A and B are shown apart, each in its own frame.
Chain A
Amino acid sequence: MDNILSVLVFFPAIAGLLGFVVDKKSARAYGITVAAIEFLLSLWLWFSFDTSNAGMQFVEMIPLIPDFGVNYYLGVDGISLFIIIMATLMTLIGMMSMSIEKDVKNMIITLLFLEMTMVGVFVALDAIIFYLFWELSLVPMLYIVGAWGGPLRVYAAIKFFLYTFMGSLVMLVGMLFVAYVYHNLTGVWSFAITDWYALVLPVNYQLWLFAAFFLGFAIKVPMFPFHTWLPYAHGQAPTIGSVILAAVLLKMGTYGFVRFSLPMFPDASVMMITPIAVISIVMIIYTAMVAYAQKDMKQVIAYSSVSHMGIIMLGIFALNSEGIGGSVFQMLSHGIVSGALFMLVGVIYDRRHTKLMSEFGGLASVMPKYAVIFGIMLMASVGLPLTIGFVGEFLVLLGFYDVSPIMTILAGTSIIVGAVYMLSLYKKSFFGPITKEENKTLKDLTPKESWSLIPLVAIVIWLGVYPKPVLDPINKSVNAMLVFMDEKAITAEAKEMIKVPHAATKTGEVK
Chain B
Amino acid sequence: MTDTLTTPTASPTPTPNLQDAGIAKPRTRRRIDGGNGGTNWWLTALIAVCSLTVLIPLYFTVVTALKTPDQLGGTGFELPTSIRWENFADAYELTNFPRALLNTALITVGAVFLTLLTNSLVAYAIARNMHKKFFKGLYFYFLAAIFVPFPIIMLPVVKETAVLGIDTPVGLILLYTVYGLSFNIFIFVAYINSIPVELEEAARLDGASTWTVFWKVIFPLLSPMNATVGILTCVWAWNDFLLPLVVLSDPSAQTLPLAQFIFQGQFNTNYPVAFASYLMALAPLLVVYVIAQKWVVSGVTRGSVK
Q: Report if A and B associate in a common complex.
A: no
